Structure 1
């Protein structure tokens, strides 16, 4: 299972890349493998300020639909156009490249230093083992 060392993780299987006051969020390799082929990614919260753990979207796979939970508080500033059914309409990008081109949203963080609840790569590896 691929768990990049430069990211933070959540118990809900999202990853977070923090760059200054902007965070990029996606689902982990473990999550995309468990869900199987994604057929739809929905994010209708762009422009909204949300708290940590609030639902910011959903992913739909052949087997199930799962909520996506915000790992850190902030304003949703971007949804990956490649995944949006109105633009790229390629949700399988998450399966193909979950830590790269398959990112889901970008957040302008309320407090970039508050990393409460985020897991280190080591802790996340232990969680999924």
Structure 2
């Protein structure tokens, strides 16, 4: 149910809810605020909001907050010098594959490097692709 509600929020708003929200919240963006709030959910590769967020990021790879939420919800912060790459599950690998396929986020998102470093992941597109290739992706 949460995934469906999120998908409705992230799709193009034809019923004016986003406009009403912006008026009530001093110009804030409903989609952005909801997506940023998702970064506070516990890490879980079975979270029902993952698929709607992936669909949103695939449709609009300039919606960096969607990828930020995906990273926060699927890959825990590193407790060692690097992520245990052998322990990455299919959902985590798929999220990283979608990130590696994107272009704009690598060129324009000033926080991506830190988000990846916090998780012990490669901090450049080239290094991430190399890691994914080593995992058979």
TM-score tier (shorter): under 0.3
* Rg larger for: 2
Structure showing the higher helix proportion among its residues: 2
Of Structure 1 and Structure 2, which has the larger fraction of its residues in strand?
A: 1
TM-score w.r.t. length of structure 2: 0.25
TM-score for both structures, normalised by structure 1: 0.26
